[in-house]
Amino acid sequence: MAWRSEILDWLKKLTVIPGPSGREEGVREVVASLIEPFVDKLWIDTWGNLVGLKKGSSGEGKLMIAAHIDEIGLFVSHIEDDGFLRVVPIGGIPERTLLYQRVVLRTRDGRLVRGVIGLKPPHIAKPEELQKIPEMRELFVDIGASSREEVEKAGVRVGDVLVFDRDVAELMNNRVAGKAFDDRVGVVSLIKAAQLLEEPKVDTYFVATVQEEVGLKGARTSAFAISPDAAVAIDVTIASDIPGVAKAEWFTRLGKGPAIKIVDGRSASGLIAHPRIVEFLISIAEKYKVPYQLEVAAGGTTDASIIALNKEGVPAGTISIPSRYIHSPVEVVDLNDVYNTALLAKYFAEEATPEWLREIKGRVLK
């Protein structure tokens, strides 16, 4: 597994950087440095998405492959007189994952300030308080300061951002744990796919999108600018192969390969993947012997759902990387799944032809 050390190195570089929605610039800078050798053109668009283009040999047709660089986090909303910080969420960050976690805050001038998330001690809590998950308003961040003045002297202001403070930990069986794997593992697969892709027939746009966790905003604007003929998003999905979950609810499992999404969200905001994209991904996986799973997801969605609605519509789908404990500081993935996702995305771009893109975009009946 010659690829393992490179993928692990990229993942460590990308996850250590605080980059919640709207504050992705540090992550984007590193992604740009990693993907630059593998694309013909590279730019940052108006909204902050990073776009790399690998030109196709045919001179016609456009394919978009997207993965988001933002992570969940917190905004500082108030500074108490005694130096504690109050916070509000950025994206879907559940209160149950926050309690007593270490966090790192990035000030507007780039300084890093570490702290912990605190709560009233259980010894003085009311019995009914101990029986429930604390609400966001009950939590606070302790950076060690004793006054508002000390906080401000450290450069901390209202509007600064915090994320979980965790390194990547290597587990058994080629599995790793850490924060922001949603979707930095997808970004790693995106970069690896660009590295592996040699001679695409159609122009292939590798897009590291911003603000996915707060409404798929970067995917919306980048898709409008690119106007792709077809697209896939690379993102994580629920690996529910854990105790307490019935096997009938094991939507995907670690180590069994990327999941080709059939549907997600179960609502108007979700995606029913384009059948021709699904069929194409399955045929490619079987042709090149890339292990894969089929996914009918319980909830959530990806950049693909908004790319699919661009202009007159875009045939779109998702390649999912199974991940346990999503939106927590200890997300767990299998590095084999990360690599095989890159392979599947690479083959998808290699096999796409202008003729196939024209065919799936509709036809005149009369």
How many CA atoms are closer than 13 Å to the CA of 266, on its beta-carbon side? Answer: 6
What are the contacts of 149-152 at 24+ separation with CB within 8 A?
A: 150/83, 151/79, 151/83, 151/85, 152/79
DSSP letter for each residue of 65-107:
EEEE--B-EEEEEEE-TTS-EEEEEESS--GGGTTT-EEEEE-
Among the listed residues 300, 58, 335, the one whose alpha carbon sits nearest the alpha carbon of residue 189: 335
Which residue out of 212, 213, 331, 350 is catalytically annotated? Answer: 212
Residue 196's SS3 state is helix
Within 8 A by CB and 6+ apart from 263, the residues are: 270, 271, 272, 273, 296, 297
Nearest Cα residue to 361 out of 202, 228, 222, 223: 228
Enumerate residues 6+ apart whose C-beta is below 8 A from 246: none
- Cβ neighbourhood burial of 354 (10 Å; 0-12, 13-18, 19+): middle
The first and second tokens of residue 217, run together, are 């905003």
d(CA 44, CA 122): 48
Task: Judge contact between 8 and 335, C-beta under 8 A.
Answer: yes
- Indicate the helix (H) or strand (E) that contains 317: strand 316-323
Total Cβ atoms within 10 A of residue 266: 13
How is the beta sheet containing 169-170 ordered, strand by strand?
A: 169-170, 175-178, 331-334
Residues 215 and 302: their CA atoms lie apart, in Å, by 9
Would you call 57 helix, strand, or coil by DSSP? coil
Q: Which of 177, 181, 234 is nearest to 208 (CA)?
A: 234
Active site residue 36: no
Return the active site residues.
212
